[in-house]
Amino acid sequence: MISPRSRELRPAYGFDEVAIVPGDVTVNPELTDVSFAIGGFTFSHPVLAADLDAVVDPRFAVSFHQSGGGLAVMNLEGLQTRYEDPEEALTEILSASDADATAVIQKVYSAPIREELIGERIRYVKERGAICAVSATPASTKRLAPLAVDAGADIFVVKATVTTARHISRSIRGLILAELCEQLPAPVLVGNTVSYGATKELMETGIAGVLVGVGPGAICTTREVVGVGVPQVTATMDCAAARDEHFRQTGRYVPIITDGGMRTGGDVCKALVAGADAVMLGSIFAGAAETPGRGYSWGMSTGHGQLPRGTRIHVGVNTTLERLLFGPTSRTDGTENLVGAIHTAMGVCGAQTVQEFHEAELVVAPSIKTEGKKYQLARGQG
């Protein structure tokens, strides 16, 4: 006899379990438009650099903007705002053994945030002509957001492992996103989330964009530590459905950005077909020569004092920002020329814009990476 409390589990899919179906019409890749618009700003491609200290510092933010009009997000609670010269702290993290890395990161991140450094870092980016996006956790947003915007930040990101429009805490009056959006003269992006309901409620507060993803990143251990997360294809589709319904009801289009879990151009393309307007990548960029982490990557939650939910990884310095985004490349595994991959996939699906790309079909295809690949697998290239 089935218990009345039994619940049926629905399937959820990640990038390795789905494939994009080509369209009935094809388009020359050079005729496709991969631009991304959010909060009154337009970027030439839909690939954002994540707010990891190993990836984005003021220099990288400028380089990323200059390399092709992209957007990099800088962490206001990271090394750049805790240390006048973050190089010594970086070196301490990078030189730690694997066994000691988390403890060292916890110690380094225990230094207080110095508010005067917020303005310095933002002004560095702005003085060199780049759009400046910065992030903070919900607990620090009320304090740091006004400082950042006063210093010239163009976009503010409220970011945590999970963020919702409704939050229960001991605080008499916590962060109210609707009020934040009214008070800040800069667009507000919020993340992270993975569900239809939470995404729709967040959009109703007036925010400019939503980050999608809980635990998929190469450096994140949230799924192991607390068991929480939804595979990124399903999460993106659910959040995109909320975006579309919000648009139907209000006429206001709020982009969603799939954040984490993508390793190749193929993964990026699948995220876009699933409904993402853009993607945010972290550890992929850690392999670029221009990043401060020298081939290492770690997350914001790695340094949590009581329950770290991340780890330090070593990807090695193996590419440049230009090759990673735009090529040319001799790699055959999809880890370089990510923007070129988007153009090509849109072309074979007959999509001239990213929104048209949303209409391409996805199928469940667990054999997509192994079918017919006997010799590649034998050489370790599958």
| pLDDT tens profile 123-132 | 999 999 999 9
- pTM for the model: 0.95
Compute the Cα dihedral for 145, 150, 151, 153 and give only its sign. Answer: positive
189 close to 157: Cβ distance less than 8 angstroms: yes
Which whole number is the average pLDDT over 343-349? 98
Q: With pLDDT > 70 as the criterion, what percentage of the chain qualifies?
A: 97
Strand partners, 31: none
199 pLDDT exceeds 80? Answer: yes
77 pLDDT exceeds 90? Answer: yes
In order, the DSSP letters of 153-204 are -SEEEEE-SS--SS---S-SS---HHHHHHH-SS-EEEEEE-SHHHHHHHHT
Which whole number is the average pLDDT over 271-300? 95
* 92 phi, psi to nearest 5 deg: -60, -40
Domains of the chain: 41-323 (3.20.20.70)
Which whole number is the average pLDDT over 204-215? 96
236 close to 262: Cβ distance less than 8 angstroms: no
237 close to 270: Cβ distance less than 8 angstroms: no
1 pLDDT exceeds 60? Answer: no
Cα separation, 136 vs 186, in Å, equals 14
Collapsed DSSP state (helix, strand, coil) of residue 47: strand
345 close to 356: Cβ distance less than 8 angstroms: no
182 pLDDT exceeds 70? Answer: yes
359 close to 105: Cβ distance less than 8 angstroms: no
Catalytic sites, residue numbers: 220, 312
116 pLDDT exceeds 60? Answer: yes
Task: Count CB atoms within 10 A of the CB of residue 3.
Answer: 6
CA distance to 81, 110, 215, per residue, from 106 (Å): 16, 6, 20
Q: What does DSSP assign to residue 123?
A: H
What's the pLDDT at 301? 80
DSSP H/E element including 106: helix 101-108
Confidence band, pLDDT 50/70/90 cuts, at residue 26:
very high
Residue-wise pLDDT tens digits, 261-285:
999 999 999 999 999 999 999 999 9
Q: What mean pLDDT is reported for the chain? A: 94
Confidence band, pLDDT 50/70/90 cuts, at residue 288:
very high
Upper half-sphere CA count for residue 343 (Cβ side, 13 Å): 16
What's the pLDDT at 69? 84
- Tokens at 355, concatenated: 């929104």
Confidence band, pLDDT 50/70/90 cuts, at residue 302:
confident
Upper half-sphere CA count for residue 127 (Cβ side, 13 Å): 9
Which whole number is the average pLDDT over 223-231? 91
What's the pLDDT at 138? 94
Higher-confidence residue of 354 and 306: namely 354
In order, the DSSP letters of 197-229 are HHHHHHHTTT-SEEEE-SS-STTB-HHHHT---
212 close to 258: Cβ distance less than 8 angstroms: yes
Contacts 24+ apart (CB under 8 A), 350-353: 350/23, 350/24, 350/25, 350/26, 350/27, 351/23, 351/27, 351/32, 352/27, 352/31, 352/32, 352/33, 353/32, 353/33
What's the pLDDT at 172? 65
Confidence band, pLDDT 50/70/90 cuts, at residue 3:
low
- Tokens at 256, concatenated: 């969603």
- Tokens at 274, concatenated: 């699933």
What's the pLDDT at 2? 54
- Tokens at 70, concatenated: 């992209």
**Computed over its alpha carbons, how large is the radius of gyration of the chain?**
20
What's the pLDDT at 374? 74
